[in-house]
Amino acid sequence: MALVSDPRANHLLAALPALEWERVQPHLERVEMPLAKALYESGGKLGHIYFPTTAIVSLLYVTENGASTEIALVGNEGVVGIALFLGGESTPSRAVVQSAGEGYRLQAPLLTQEFNRTGPLMHLLLRYTQALITQISQTAVCNRYHSVDQQLCRWLLLSLDRLEGNALGMTQELIANMLGVRREGVTDAACSLQRDGVIRYQRGHITVLDRAGLEKRSCECYAVVRGEYERLLPGLQAH
């Protein structure tokens, strides 16, 4: 994937007024985010906050026996590492790159210093956090009450909103791990979508052919999450 040299490909950074941007920009460090790279582990101290530009990061909860399930997705609409400005230096979740790309990171002390100015960056981060909490809450509801087909549609739509184009590099096994379901269930759901011409799946690559059809087959959870992002961060959502 081609690297993007402008950190303002991240929507939160792009929304900063000139004065805040001039303070933050010199301290942003571009980082590549290869597939499956862990940005932080459960319980580990967070040294940076990450602003993805072309990558997508999964926030995962990992159980004692090693099983995991995704609780949220973060892409170019947001940040990874909200614990840094919410008063903690660690989190029980794990952050893993789900779709390879790049992003920018800012050292924890610099982020804290800027946040404590109680200016535009603080307000942006807090509104983003509220939207992220909605996504986490809705994911829990979706995983409990909705079918694997609906969960897959929701997950694909959330991923598409954070990517340029309509293609994702993702195996069914990895999707199953993200959703916390059996691989056979994901296979059946993906085959159903492919038969109906909604997606094309081949060798770990999913191409969405009919986004409207995907939205129609999804549960209400996707619309709830997207609506909250649009309400709290107007003008910052992709697509």
Q: Please report the pLDDT score of residue 168 as a whole number.
A: 85
Average pLDDT for 12-38: 95
Asked if pLDDT for residue 26 goes beyond 70, the answer is yes
Mean pLDDT over each residue of the chain, to the nearest integer: 90
The band of 237, judged by pLDDT with boundaries at 50, 70 and 90, is: low
DSSP string, 88-154: -S--SEEEEEEE-EEEEEEEHHHHHHHHTTTSHHHHHHHHHHHHHHHHHHHHHHHHHHS-HHHHHHH
pLDDT digits (tens, 9 = 90+) for 170-197: 777 778 777 777 878 888 988 899 999 9
The band of 150, judged by pLDDT with boundaries at 50, 70 and 90, is: very high
User: In the chain, what are the domain boundaries?
Assistant: 7-117, 147-218
Asked if pLDDT for residue 4 goes beyond 70, the answer is no
- Alpha carbon 33 to chain centroid, angstroms: 13
E-strand ranges in 100-218 read: 101-107, 167-169, 199-202, 205-208
Q: Which residues pair with 95 in a beta bridge?
A: 40, 59
Which run of H or E residues covers position 68? Answer: strand 68-74
Query: Residues 92, 178: contact at Cβ < 8 Å?
Result: no
Looking at per-residue pLDDT, the higher value among 112 and 5 belongs to: 112
Domain 7-117 classified CATH 2.20.28.10? no
C-beta neighbour count of 143 within 10 angstroms: 18
Q: What is the CATH number of domain 147-218?
A: 1.10.10.10
DSSP code of 7? G
pTM of the model: 0.91
Strand arrangement, sheet containing 48-52:
29-33, 101-107, 48-52
